[in-house]
Amino acid sequence: MKRKSEHEIMAAQKPEDIFTLDLNTIELEKEEYVSRFQPVEYRAIQNFRVTRKVMLLYEEALIKINDGWDEHEFSICSKSGKEFCVHYTNHSSFKLGEMYVTSNYVIYVVEGRYKKYYENYVEKTRHYLKPDKHVWELVQYMVPDVQEHFETTDGRFCIFVKKPCDIYSLREIIDYFGGSLKPEYVASILTRLYYFACYMSLVEATHNGITVDNLFFAPGRKLEDGEKYTVHDMRIVGVYGGWFFTTYLNDKISGVPREVYEIMPDECKERGYSSFEIDELSIKRVAKDLLKEREDIPKALAEWLESKKVAKDPYIEFQNWEQVRRDAFGKRRFVNMDVSI
């Protein structure tokens, strides 16, 4: 569900900039906008203009939907006989199968020969331990909310991950910004990934699959005075892919993506066992991929990413990162990102 700011609404050029082109979702979005921008005495004219723009784009959106919005579609049937008609807006292939992104879900379709990886994903995301309330509040939308999982009639395996809000694949975000992200944006992504690494250390697990293609991103926005804060306003880094390879600490690794293998410590490669350093080094690799060929990277950040040294404890790594972030960018602040995909 999209929840755009007044500035984003007034700057919108097409209905999909502020609406999800889905009949069920668009009604909720319209109601939210109209309710939020009800004319009030001190800003009646401004709110009228916003609402008028919302309704014009809403009418355009309905026309697009009724004319057959150019989404891709396929059907998939579980062995139990339940059929799912999937309308997707983004698709990519990975070693184990296919990934589809819809208005409400991230869907993984895994080839039958990789059943053990499918089972590992389902098992590792079935129940989340919550040893620290504060850390869980930070990461609760970063981990997959699996709504459906099943074997298909053609011997493949399907996983439906519920999206908490209007969240995009990180690869889409990179493409949207022309191949790389500003260092300030990357820093906010890094901070959230270190939160995630801290959470995984609390439950004594390593993800082993932190790569650009396994991550999702909701840019969030800074609220205007008086606005109520919801999940749709949050900046979220979703670690929804890669759980096929997740292990408990010091368990034997059954496989990792190529990008992760390239940065794995030699000891882990030789012994074949997981360690927290794998995820920490993977986070640095993600940041370098996001900053590719940029020349405006602050020195402190560049030196941090080039260093192959990481702490054995993710909490210490997070504290070290916070110092680097302060050196590179100063006091913490929210950096707005205008994204319309």
- Is the residue at 339 inside a domain? no
**Do residue 207 and residue 226 come from a single domain?**
yes
pLDDT (tens, 9 = 90+) of the chain, 341 residues, equals: 678 888 889 988 888 888 887 777 889 889 999 999 887 766 788 888 899 999 999 999 888 887 766 567 778 889 998 888 888 888 899 999 999 999 899 999 999 999 999 999 999 999 998 888 888 988 999 999 999 999 999 899 999 999 998 899 999 999 989 999 999 999 999 999 999 999 999 999 999 999 999 999 998 877 776 677 777 778 899 999 999 999 998 899 999 999 999 999 998 888 888 899 999 999 999 999 999 989 999 999 999 999 999 999 999 999 999 999 999 999 888 777 777 66
Q: Do 98 and 208 belong together in one domain?
A: no
Q: Are residues 155 and 303 in the same domain?
A: no
Domain stop point among 162, 187, 209: 162
Q: Which DSSP string do the residues of 159-218 spell out, in sequence order? A: EEEE-SSS-EEHHHHHHHTTS---HHHHHHHHHHHHHHHHHHHHTTEE-----GGGEEEE
**Angle formed by the axes of helices 276-290 and 314-329, nearest 10°:** 20
133: in domain: no
Does residue 338 lie within any of the structural domains? no
From CA 157, how far away is CA 159, in angstroms rounded? Answer: 7
Q: Which residues in 194-204 are b (16+ Cβ under 10 Å) and which e?
A: bbbbbbbbbee
> Do 51 and 78 fall into the same domain?
no
Task: Tell me which residue range forms the domain holding 42.
Answer: 6-66
Write down which residue in 66, 89, 109 finishes a domain: 66
62 and 76 inside one domain:
no
Domains of the chain: total:
3
Tell whether pTM > 0.85. Answer: no
CATH of the domain at 285: 1.10.510.10
The verdict on residue 58 lying in a domain is yes
Shared domain for 307 and 178, answered yes or no, is yes
Q: Please give the pLDDT value at position 15.
A: 87
112 and 214 assigned to the same domain: no
